[in-house]
Every structure is written in C-alpha cells, then in structure tokens.
C-alpha cells in the first residue's frame, strides 16, 4: 500500500496528448462547437486523468468517511453524536439520502468508520474513537492525521483494483462543519465568522458557540497554515483526513474524484495545499449553501455544475453529478460526426 509520501511523489500532470485528442473528438461531433460547455470540459479533463481519449467511468462509487468530533461537547451542533452512527448504518440499509441517490444512478456506496465513537455494522478502518475536543486540546496527533489520510489512500487503491473509474467524496460526522470551518479559517486566512455557517440548522446562539469554539481552538493551538497536516491535526477531523487521502490517492492512481460540498471541499483544499497538482484530478459538483462554498471553489480554481442551494452533505451533491457525466460521455462516444453526416465542420470564431 502507498504511504502518504509515496502518494504525493506519484502525482503527475495530466496527459496533454490525451486531452488534445478528446478535444478534437468533441470538435468533430456534429454540434455547435463547445455547445455542451462544462460537460465537454470534464470529459477532456477525465481523458487527461486516465491518460487516454477513451473514457471509462462506468463503475462508480461514493466513499463516505464516518467519524465523530470531540468539539460537539461545546454545543456546536443541533444533534448529538449518536446520529453519526445511526446515519452511517442507514448507508448500508439503503435508508439514507445518499444511498438512495446512489441506487438511482447505479453507483456503489462505500461507508467507512474512520473514527466513530461507537462500533457499528459499518466496515472499520478506525484511527481512534472520535477526535479530542479541539477547543481544549488538539483534535488528534500529527501521526493520527497522517494515518487518517492513508486510510483514504488505501481505500482508493482497493477500489482501483476492483475496476472503479470514478469516485465521489461523502462524509457523516456530527460536528464536521465546525472542523471544516476551522480548517478553512486557517488555510483561506479568513475571519471565523465569515467562513462559519449554521451547518445542519443551528440557532443564532448555537452559531455563536460554534464561532467561539473555532476561535478558541485556533488561538490555543496555533495551527500552521504552511503545514496542512498540522492544521488537520489541530482543528480537523478523521473524516476530513480520510477525504484528503481520497483526493490524493485519486490523483496518484489516476482516478477522477468528485468534490461534494463544504466538508468535502475543505478536504479538497487541504489536499491541494499538500500537493497543488492534485487539483487537476478533482471535479467540482455543486455550490454548497455554506458561506465559504464560493471561497473553496475559488481556491481550487473550479467551476461547479449545480447550483441547487444544497447543504445535506453525505456526498449527495457529488452523486447528483453522475448522470450528467454519463450523458456527456454517451454523446462523446456515440454521436455522429460532421464527416458522417456529410456536413461542413463548424469553425472556431475569433
């Protein structure tokens, strides 16, 4: 299995010739040039990721990292930690929103217990039984942060061996909009109150507690923005660490990875700070309702497809993109060309 350092060293630029061949294929199809917009761009990107103009994303999976966060002690959430385990088990019972989405689009849902406070039927790759309360002490050790990232890398390796060609990122963990907000406050160098939202539905009083807890953690532990792993260790969560590993593993193993919303986006930004080249292997799905959603997309230099005011999490926004990608690939592979129709090709305008 790849280590953290080996994974970073393995990440290469996208394959230019494959992207150029994919673009030429699009331009030969009997339709106005680039009239499918971002759909065409993503197919070209996937060609560069897979290093071939032939696209193979038939087998898809949503990886959902499940973990609990000690900062819940500070009253930063509307519900308790027992909900993490309940929803995580519902992933396997086809009773969660994301599992129903996956069933609808023909994707597999892979939940992983990377750090829940209880053991459940969810497969375990547990770093610890929840993180510490970051308002009082660092959320985890530096070694645990690396371990959580390597869980994500290992998961991508396992899925690649099984033939998966497209991955999406999801999570379940009460309190993880607090940890995500803390990470983004540090890495985006923004005020806490600008980055932090109401999560699953906090009252104004709850939002003030959330902002206080984040500010307290950052002031107390002084996470180093030049060392993203240090930021993860001091104010992050195991679920975010696992997703960082999925993004880095996807880049190293040449599999496109779809970003979900705010929490997944926070992991994507952290992965890109660890290895900037990893951004090229990421696909943005939607614009989350959380306040920092646009900041995250700007930091990643990504444009999202969907603007549905969603903030459910679990990978729902990422999976919602799958049918659009399938439609784009179907046109790319099957539509007749100008030559087939004996038509004059469209010429690019200045």
Which CATH number characterizes residue 263's domain? 3.40.50.10210
For residue 102, tell me if it sits in a domain.
yes
- Residue 198 confidence (pLDDT): 78
CA dist 237 and 244 (Å) reads 11
- Residue 276 confidence (pLDDT): 98
Please state the domain count of the chain.
1
Are 182 and 265 spatial neighbours (Cβ–Cβ below 8 Å)? Answer: no
Query: CA dist 117 to 75, 135, 306, 316, Å?
Result: 17, 18, 34, 24
Are 80 and 34 spatial neighbours (Cβ–Cβ below 8 Å)? Answer: no
Give the residue numbers marked as catalytic.
314
Splitting the chain (350 residues) into consecutive groups of 10 residues, what average pLDDT does each group show? 97 98 95 94 98 98 98 90 94 95 97 97 98 98 98 98 98 96 97 86 81 97 98 98 98 98 97 98 94 94 93 94 97 89 69
Are 302 and 284 spatial neighbours (Cβ–Cβ below 8 Å)? Answer: yes
H helix or E strand, kind and range, residue 183: helix 176-187
For residue 81, tell me if it sits in a domain.
yes
For residue 65, tell me if it sits in a domain.
yes
For residue 342, tell me if it sits in a domain.
no
CA dist 153 and 19 (Å) reads 25
Measuring CA to CA, which residue among 269, 275, 194 is closest to residue 231?
Answer: 269
Coil, strand, or helix at residue 255?
coil
For residue 334, tell me if it sits in a domain.
no
Measuring CA to CA, which residue among 93, 102, 97, 91 is closest to residue 65?
Answer: 91
Are 261 and 290 spatial neighbours (Cβ–Cβ below 8 Å)? Answer: yes
Measuring CA to CA, which residue among 164, 194, 179 is closest to residue 60?
Answer: 164
CA dist 162 and 172 (Å) reads 24
Q: What is the CA radius of gyration of the chain?
A: 20
Q: The domain containing residue 199 runs over which residues?
A: 60-326
Coil, strand, or helix at residue 96?
coil
Are 315 and 64 spatial neighbours (Cβ–Cβ below 8 Å)? Answer: yes
- Residue 341 confidence (pLDDT): 73
- Contact residues for 261 (Cβ-Cβ < 8 A; gap 6+): 285, 286, 288, 290, 293, 310, 311, 312, 313, 317
For residue 141, tell me if it sits in a domain.
yes
Are 263 and 231 spatial neighbours (Cβ–Cβ below 8 Å)? Answer: no
The DSSP call for residue 75 is S
- Residue 79 confidence (pLDDT): 83
Tell me the helices (H) and strands (E) count for the chain, helix number first.
15, 5
Are 175 and 237 spatial neighbours (Cβ–Cβ below 8 Å)? Answer: yes
- Contact residues for 192 (Cβ-Cβ < 8 A; gap 6+): 181, 182, 185, 211, 214, 215, 218
With the C-alpha atoms ordered 257, 261, 266, 269, is the resulting torsion angle positive or negative?
positive
For residue 52, tell me if it sits in a domain.
no
63 CA to centre of own chain: 9
For residue 18, tell me if it sits in a domain.
no
Residue 154 structure tokens: 């290992």
CA dist 46 and 55 (Å) reads 7
CA dist 78 and 198 (Å) reads 9
Are 14 and 48 spatial neighbours (Cβ–Cβ below 8 Å)? Answer: yes
Residue with tokens 């469209």, as numbered in its chain:
346
């Amino acid at each position: 299995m790849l280590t953290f350092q080996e994974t970073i060293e393995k990440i290469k630029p996208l394959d230019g010739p494959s992207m150029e061949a994919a673009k030429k294929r699009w331009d030969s199809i009997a339709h106005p040039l680039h009239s499918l917009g971002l759909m065409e761009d993503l197919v070209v990107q996937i060609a560069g990721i897979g290093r071939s103009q032939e696209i193979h994303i038939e087998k898809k999976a949503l990886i959902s990292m499940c973990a609990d966060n000690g900062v819940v002690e500070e009253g930063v959430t509307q519900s308790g930690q027992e909900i993490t385990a309940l929803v995580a088990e519902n992933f396997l019972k086809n009773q969660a929103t994301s599992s129903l989405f996956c069933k609808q689009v023909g994707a597999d849902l892979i939940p992983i217990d990377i750090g829940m406070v209880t053991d459940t039927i969810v497969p375990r790759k547990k770093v610890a039984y929840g993180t510490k309360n970051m308002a009082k002490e660092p959320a985890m050790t530096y070694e645990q942060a690396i371990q959580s990232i390597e869980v994500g890398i290992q998961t991508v390796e396992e899925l690649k061996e099984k033939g998966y060609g497209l991955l999406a990122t999801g999570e379940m963990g009460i309190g993880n909009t607090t940890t995500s907000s803390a990470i983004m406050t540090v890495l985006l160098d923004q005020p806490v109150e600008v980055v932090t939202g109401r999560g699953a539905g906090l009252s104004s009083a709850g939002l003030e507690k959330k902002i206080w807890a984040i500010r307290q953690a950052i002031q107390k532990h002084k996470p180093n923005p030049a060392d993203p792993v240090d930021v993860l260790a001091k104010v992050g969560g195991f679920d975010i660490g696992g997703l960082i590993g999925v993004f880095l593993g996807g880049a190293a193993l040449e599999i496109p990875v779809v970003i979900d919303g705010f929490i997944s986006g926070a992991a994507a930004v952290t992965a890109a700070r660890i290895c900037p080249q990893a951004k090229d292997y990421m696909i943005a799905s939607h614009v989350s309702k959380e306040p920092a959603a646009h900041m995250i997309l700007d930091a990643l230099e990504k444009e999202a497809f969907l603007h549905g005011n969603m903030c459910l999490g679990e990978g729902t926004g990422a999976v919602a993109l799958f049918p659009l990608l399938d439609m784009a690939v179907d046109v790319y592979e099957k539509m007749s060309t100008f030559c087939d129709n004996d038509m004059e090709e469209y010429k690019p305008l200045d």
